[in-house]
Amino acid sequence: MHTNDQRPDPKAIVDLERYPIDQAGEAWADLLQQIRDDLAEAGCAVLKGFLRPSSLPGLVAECERVRAYAHRNFNRTNPYFTQDPDGLPASHPSRRFFDRSNAFIPADHFAGDSAIRAIYEWPPFAPFIQAALQEKEFHRYGDPLADVIVNMAEAGNGFPWHFDTNNYTVTLAIQNAERGGEFEYSPNLRDATDENYDGVARVLDGDPSSVRRLVLEPGDLQIFRGRYSLHRVAPLVGGRPRYVAIYSFAELPDMIGSPERTRQLYGRVLPLHYERAGRRADTLVD
């Protein structure tokens, strides 16, 4: 972990000429409206070149310094992250399981000198994202292992078709693989009252008619409503890892993950996770 508190200045990192998120005014309002329109139409908004190109080598170097601490989580999953149900045909989407290979670098490796964290904790950032999403309750995540993490994907890795369990994700592209890693999604494929299993099955069967493809470049910020849009990250090719920062927010203040989920994602648990779950910290086994 790096503890030097020489915090980078977000104003030197974010391209504020293109994205004046720290200056309420006409340009700020126009930008918000464009993001809201994109989210309403497709559940996805991308702020191309959100970061200044000069800041990217430093962010890549930051990820490289701590990549050895990434926890790899390889398993098989269906689009809903549920168990295989009984009584349904094998063709049903909830019975379609795919290999998932994923690695997360936990948040406590992005400390006081982290440019990645500096963006997340910059006072104008969270209120702007909240206004774009039009969320009534919006707080930075309280989990010291999970508030600012980096997803690291290597050759052959991909994230298969799935729906998110949370309402939205906020991600920052830092480095792409040599090839592959495109973001593919079928917007608004289900809703709160209709799972649209037939539509999901068509995408899983390879029907591209509802699928959009995004090539996110380093420095792009993505806001995505993934609970209702089926999406995946295509497999990667080459020796260069793909780095994407994930900024986590919650509806309640000071929220943290459960011990079981935290261990699954990050490979370890802190005493705080047990204490919040009402269990003794000395039951922790790592």
Tell me how far apart the alpha carbons of residues 218 and 96 are, in angstroms, rounded to a whole number.
32
- How many beta carbons lie within 10 A of that of residue 57, not counting itself? 11
User: Which residues lie across from 14 on neighbouring strands?
Assistant: 51
Q: Structure pTM?
A: 0.90
- Reading the chain (286 residues) residue by residue, the pLDDT tens digits are 444 457 899 999 999 999 999 988 899 999 999 999 999 999 999 999 999 999 999 999 999 999 999 998 877 889 998 999 999 999 999 999 998 777 999 999 999 899 999 999 999 999 999 999 999 999 999 999 999 999 998 887 678 899 988 889 999 999 999 998 899 999 999 999 999 999 999 999 999 999 999 999 999 999 999 999 999 988 889 989 999 999 999 999 999 999 988 998 899 999 999 998 887 655 545 4
10 Å CB burial of residue 192 (0-12, 13-18, 19+) is: exposed
Tell me, what's the pLDDT at 3? Answer: 43
Tell me, what's the pLDDT at 157? Answer: 65
Tell me how far apart the alpha carbons of residues 258 and 69 are, in angstroms, rounded to a whole number.
21
10 Å CB burial of residue 132 (0-12, 13-18, 19+) is: buried
Distance of CA 220 to CAs 34, 173, 267, Å?
A: 16, 5, 28
Q: Which residue has 């890693």 as its token pair? A: 181
10 Å CB burial of residue 177 (0-12, 13-18, 19+) is: buried
Tell me, what's the pLDDT at 280? Answer: 62
Tell me, what's the pLDDT at 193? Answer: 95
**CA angle (177, 73, 100) in 5-degree steps:** 65
Tell me how far apart the alpha carbons of residues 251 and 237 are, in angstroms, rounded to a whole number.
37
Tell me, what's the pLDDT at 83? Answer: 92
Q: What is the pLDDT of residues 81-120, one digit of tens each?
A: 899 999 999 999 999 999 877 799 999 999 989 999 999 9
**Phi, psi for residue 212 in degrees, rounded to 5:** -110, 150
Tell me, what's the pLDDT at 283? Answer: 55
Contact indicator for 21, 33 with CB cutoff of 8 Å: no
H-type alpha helices, the chain: 26-42, 56-66, 115-121, 125-133, 197-204, 259-266, 271-276
Q: What is the pLDDT of residues 48-76, one digit of tens each?
A: 999 999 999 999 999 999 999 999 887 78
Sequence spans of domains, the chain? 10-255
Tell me how far apart the alpha carbons of residues 106 and 267 are, in angstroms, rounded to a whole number.
9
Q: Which CATH architecture has domain 10-255?
A: Sandwich (2.60)
